Amino acid sequence: MDNDDNSHVYGYVAHGWESIRSAFKQNLVDGLDIGASLCIYYREECVIDLYGGWKDTQTKKEPYTSDTLQLVFSTSKGILAAAIALCVERGWLDYDARVSECWPEFACNGK
Protein backbone atom coordinates (compact mmCIF):
# COMPACT_ATOMS: atom_id res chain seq x y z
CA MET A 1 0.00 0.00 0.00
CA ASP A 2 1.23 3.46 -0.85
CA ASN A 3 0.50 6.57 1.16
CA ASP A 4 2.99 9.04 -0.30
CA ASP A 5 1.84 11.92 -2.53
CA ASN A 6 -1.78 11.14 -1.55
CA SER A 7 -1.72 8.70 -4.47
CA HIS A 8 -2.95 5.51 -2.88
CA VAL A 9 -2.50 2.48 -5.12
CA TYR A 10 -3.67 -0.96 -4.07
CA GLY A 11 -4.07 -4.33 -5.69
CA TYR A 12 -2.15 -7.10 -7.38
CA VAL A 13 0.72 -7.04 -9.88
CA ALA A 14 2.30 -10.25 -11.20
CA HIS A 15 6.07 -10.53 -11.38
CA GLY A 16 7.38 -8.82 -14.49
CA TRP A 17 4.50 -6.35 -14.73
CA GLU A 18 5.72 -3.86 -12.11
CA SER A 19 6.31 -1.10 -14.67
CA ILE A 20 2.55 -0.96 -15.28
CA ARG A 21 2.00 -0.32 -11.58
CA SER A 22 4.58 2.47 -11.67
CA ALA A 23 2.91 4.10 -14.69
CA PHE A 24 -0.53 3.72 -13.09
CA LYS A 25 0.67 5.44 -9.93
CA GLN A 26 2.49 8.16 -11.89
CA ASN A 27 -0.78 9.10 -13.62
CA LEU A 28 -2.26 9.73 -10.18
CA VAL A 29 0.80 11.62 -8.91
CA ASP A 30 0.86 13.82 -12.03
CA GLY A 31 -2.87 14.52 -11.79
CA LEU A 32 -3.64 12.85 -15.12
CA ASP A 33 -6.17 10.70 -13.27
CA ILE A 34 -7.96 11.48 -10.01
CA GLY A 35 -9.01 7.88 -9.42
CA ALA A 36 -8.86 4.76 -11.53
CA SER A 37 -8.81 1.00 -11.69
CA LEU A 38 -7.05 -1.30 -14.14
CA CYS A 39 -7.34 -5.03 -14.64
CA ILE A 40 -5.32 -6.88 -17.29
CA TYR A 41 -5.53 -10.54 -18.19
CA TYR A 42 -2.71 -12.04 -20.24
CA ARG A 43 -3.02 -15.58 -21.55
CA GLU A 44 -6.02 -16.23 -19.31
CA GLU A 45 -4.18 -15.12 -16.16
CA CYS A 46 -4.79 -11.93 -14.18
CA VAL A 47 -1.48 -10.07 -14.23
CA ILE A 48 -2.68 -6.63 -13.08
CA ASP A 49 -5.57 -5.71 -10.79
CA LEU A 50 -4.98 -2.20 -9.46
CA TYR A 51 -7.08 0.64 -8.11
CA GLY A 52 -6.30 3.90 -6.43
CA GLY A 53 -6.74 7.62 -6.10
CA TRP A 54 -9.94 9.37 -5.13
CA LYS A 55 -13.63 9.38 -6.06
CA ASP A 56 -14.02 12.94 -4.82
CA THR A 57 -11.96 15.50 -6.74
CA GLN A 58 -12.56 18.44 -4.38
CA THR A 59 -11.88 17.10 -0.89
CA LYS A 60 -10.09 13.84 -1.74
CA LYS A 61 -11.65 12.22 1.31
CA GLU A 62 -13.37 9.29 -0.39
CA PRO A 63 -10.87 6.78 -1.82
CA TYR A 64 -11.34 5.07 -5.16
CA THR A 65 -11.82 1.39 -4.27
CA SER A 66 -12.02 -1.88 -6.13
CA ASP A 67 -15.83 -1.52 -5.94
CA THR A 68 -16.06 2.05 -7.27
CA LEU A 69 -18.40 2.31 -10.26
CA GLN A 70 -17.02 4.29 -13.18
CA LEU A 71 -18.91 5.94 -16.01
CA VAL A 72 -16.99 5.09 -19.18
CA PHE A 73 -19.24 6.38 -22.00
CA SER A 74 -17.89 5.08 -25.33
CA THR A 75 -14.41 3.94 -24.37
CA SER A 76 -14.94 0.48 -25.82
CA LYS A 77 -15.51 1.76 -29.38
CA GLY A 78 -11.80 1.95 -30.22
CA ILE A 79 -11.14 -1.53 -28.87
CA LEU A 80 -14.12 -2.94 -30.76
CA ALA A 81 -12.97 -1.22 -33.98
CA ALA A 82 -9.49 -2.75 -33.62
CA ALA A 83 -11.00 -6.19 -32.94
CA ILE A 84 -13.25 -5.95 -36.00
CA ALA A 85 -10.32 -4.81 -38.17
CA LEU A 86 -8.31 -7.81 -36.98
CA CYS A 87 -11.23 -10.14 -37.81
CA VAL A 88 -11.46 -8.63 -41.30
CA GLU A 89 -7.70 -8.97 -41.79
CA ARG A 90 -7.92 -12.66 -40.85
CA GLY A 91 -10.87 -13.24 -43.19
CA TRP A 92 -13.40 -13.93 -40.44
CA LEU A 93 -15.52 -10.86 -41.30
CA ASP A 94 -16.14 -8.82 -44.42
CA TYR A 95 -16.89 -5.09 -44.23
CA ASP A 96 -19.19 -5.43 -47.26
CA ALA A 97 -21.15 -8.43 -45.93
CA ARG A 98 -24.71 -7.96 -44.75
CA VAL A 99 -25.15 -8.25 -40.98
CA SER A 100 -27.55 -11.16 -41.53
CA GLU A 101 -24.73 -13.22 -43.11
CA CYS A 102 -22.96 -13.34 -39.73
CA TRP A 103 -26.05 -13.05 -37.55
CA PRO A 104 -29.07 -14.68 -39.29
CA GLU A 105 -31.50 -13.74 -36.50
CA PHE A 106 -30.83 -10.07 -37.25
CA ALA A 107 -32.77 -10.43 -40.52
CA CYS A 108 -35.99 -11.43 -38.71
CA ASN A 109 -39.09 -9.24 -38.88
CA GLY A 110 -38.25 -7.62 -42.21
CA LYS A 111 -34.84 -6.18 -41.36
Catalytic residue numbers read 74
Q: What are phi and psi of 47, to 5 degrees?
A: -110, -20
Pairing relationship of beta strands 45-53 and 35-42 according to DSSP bridges: antiparallel
Report DSSP letters for 86-100, one per residue: HHHHTTS--TTS-HH
Q: Helix or strand or coil: residue 23?
A: helix
Q: Please, are residues 9 and 23 in contact by the beta-carbon 8 Å criterion?
A: no
Q: Helix or strand or coil: residue 18?
A: helix
